[in-house]
């Protein structure tokens, strides 16, 4: 079970912060991030009956996006002439639907959190190693759940009244990547802000932090950023915010503001870690940036995830990104089996040990107060 790290009060954090010099790297990230604008937004009749669905409808209509209310609750006509066309159509479509009753039966998600729930499934970005490849069936349309208030209410059934219980919201989507269209993440943060023992965790590769800074999180949400070496971010993470923009957003999220906003517990999810050429120098560059920008944060966690793939995810990703430079050569990998009979390709024992040693020793040295939650 992932234990949420201890938290400092906003007041303590503020005093720690004002003693810190402003980072010289901040200005580098000043360019605004491009937000995802879908080419079509579909609503099912059931989604339109939900008041939260209506809110999303008003929001996207106000933005002038092409909105279509479907005649029935099934999403059809999502495929193009071939896989390439299906991918292109899907990644430019947002469908607002209601999550099925099975969404109310939560699943554990070790080592990240106690439970997972979903505010959406599908992601607008184009990472060549995407974790969703092979785990979500059908065309990769972004499906947003209009019955989010009921989904959140249901999480109360899973909160241990005696100790903090954590909920992961980013297993099947990047929730910040769609926040400007849905407001779903703010809804979740506000909800968990009111739960004595409920803790929310989410991860993002986006940087549009501003709309969340004022949401009353009460220290119950850990806002994590998925980060990587600059070369990996540039080559393999299409449609996301740049590394500098993510780190700037991370700093903003952690920074307690005079108006009461910010001050989130934060986290760095360094993933997927790859022994690319000059990997030590590349990841040193990332840790240098982190140290300069969020070294002040007293509630900072790290999650370290090495790259892995399955035969199924390789097949899907090779179709989506046929020209990728992502290394998925089985011959250089070790096989890791799970208790259900499946397996994945991971790095060999020696490579894993070398990478792990580098990250654990560098992080402990640079961020003595941070917690490394796990290496995998």
User: Among residue numbers 3 through 42, which ones bind ligand SF4 (CB under 6 A)?
Assistant: none
Q: With binding defined as CB under 6 A, does residue 123 bind ligand SF4?
A: yes
- Please state, as a whole number, how many other Cβ atoms lie within 10 Å of the Cβ of residue 175: 24
Q: With binding defined as CB under 6 A, does residue 202 bind ligand SF4?
A: no
Minimum CB distance to ligand SF4, residue 369 (Å)? 28
Report yes or no: 221 and 192 within 8 Å, Cβ to Cβ: yes
The footprint of ligand SF4 on this chain (CB under 6 A) covers a number of residues equal to 9
Binder among 174, 187, 248, 299 for ligand SF4 (CB under 6 A): 174
d(CA 195, CA 216): 12
Q: With binding defined as CB under 6 A, does residue 130 bind ligand SF4?
A: yes
Minimum CB distance to ligand SF4, residue 77 (Å)? 23
Minimum CB distance to ligand SF4, residue 91 (Å)? 9
Minimum CB distance to ligand SF4, residue 202 (Å)? 11
d(CA 96, CA 94): 7
d(CA 211, CA 5): 25
If the CB atoms of residues 116 and 195 are measured against ligand SF4, the closer one turns out to be 116
If the CB atoms of residues 127 and 300 are measured against ligand SF4, the closer one turns out to be 127
Q: What is the DSSP string of 309-375?
A: B-HHHHHHHHHH-TT------GGGSEEEE-TTS-EEEE--HHHHHHHHHHHHHHHHHH-TT-EEEEE
363: tokens are: 């992080």
Binder among 131, 191, 283, 309 for ligand SF4 (CB under 6 A): 131
Q: With binding defined as CB under 6 A, does residue 224 bind ligand SF4?
A: no
Binder among 127, 176, 255, 266 for ligand SF4 (CB under 6 A): 127
Minimum CB distance to ligand SF4, residue 128 (Å)? 9
User: Among residue numbers 240 through 269, which ones bind ligand SF4 (CB under 6 A)?
Assistant: 240
| Beta strand residue intervals within the chain, DSSP E | 40-43, 67-69, 93-97, 107-109, 113-116, 120-121, 126-127, 142-145, 165-168, 198-204, 221-227, 237-238, 266-273, 300-306, 334-337, 343-346, 371-375
List residues near ligand SF4 by CB under 6 A: 123, 125, 127, 130-132, 174, 205, 240
């Amino acid at each position: 079970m992932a234990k949420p790290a201890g938290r400092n009060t906003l007041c303590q954090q503020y005093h720690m912060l004002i003693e810190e010099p402003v980072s010289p790297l901040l200005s580098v990230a000043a360019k605004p991030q491009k937000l995802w604008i879908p080419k079509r937004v579909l609503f099912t009749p059931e989604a339109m009956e939900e008041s939260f669905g209506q809110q999303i409808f008003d929001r996207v209509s106000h933005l002038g996006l092409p909105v279509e209310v479907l005649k029935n609750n099934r999403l059809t006509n999502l495929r193009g002439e071939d896989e390439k066309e299906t991918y292109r159509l899907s990644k430019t479509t947002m469908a607002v639907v209601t999550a099925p009753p099975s969404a109310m039966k939560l699943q554990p998600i070790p080592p990240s959190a106690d439970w997972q729930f979903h505010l959406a499934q599908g992601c607008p970005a184009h990472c060549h190693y995407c974790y969703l490849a092979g785990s979500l069936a059908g065309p990769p349309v972004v499906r947003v759940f209009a019955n989010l208030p009921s989904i959140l209410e249901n999480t109360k059934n899973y909160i241990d009244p005696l100790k903090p219980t954590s909920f992961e919201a980013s297993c099947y989507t990047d929730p910040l990547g769609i926040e400007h269209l849905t407001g779903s993440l703010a809804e979740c943060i506000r909800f968990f802000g009111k739960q004595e023992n409920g803790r929310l965790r989410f991860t993002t590769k986006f940087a549009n932090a501003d709309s969340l800074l004022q949401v009353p999180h009460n220290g119950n949400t850990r806002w994590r950023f998925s980060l990587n070496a600059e070369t990996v971010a540039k080559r393999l993470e299409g449609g996301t915010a740049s590394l500098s923009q993510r780190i700037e957003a991370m700093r903003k999220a952690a920074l307690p503001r005079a108006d009461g906003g910010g001050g989130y517990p934060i986290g760095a999810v360094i993933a997927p870690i790859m022994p690319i050429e000059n990997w030590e120098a590349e990841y040193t560059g990332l840790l240098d940036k982190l140290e300069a920008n969020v070294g002040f944060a007293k509630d900072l966690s790290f999650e370290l995830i090495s790259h892995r793939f399955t035969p199924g995810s390789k097949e899907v990703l090779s179709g989506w990104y046929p020209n990728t430079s992502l290394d998925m050569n089985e011959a250089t990998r070790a096989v890791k089996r799970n208790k259900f009979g499946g397996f994945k390709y991971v790095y060999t024992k020696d490579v894993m040990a070398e990478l792990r040693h580098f990250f654990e020793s560098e992080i402990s040295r640079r961020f003595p107060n941070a917690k490394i939650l796990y290496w995998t």
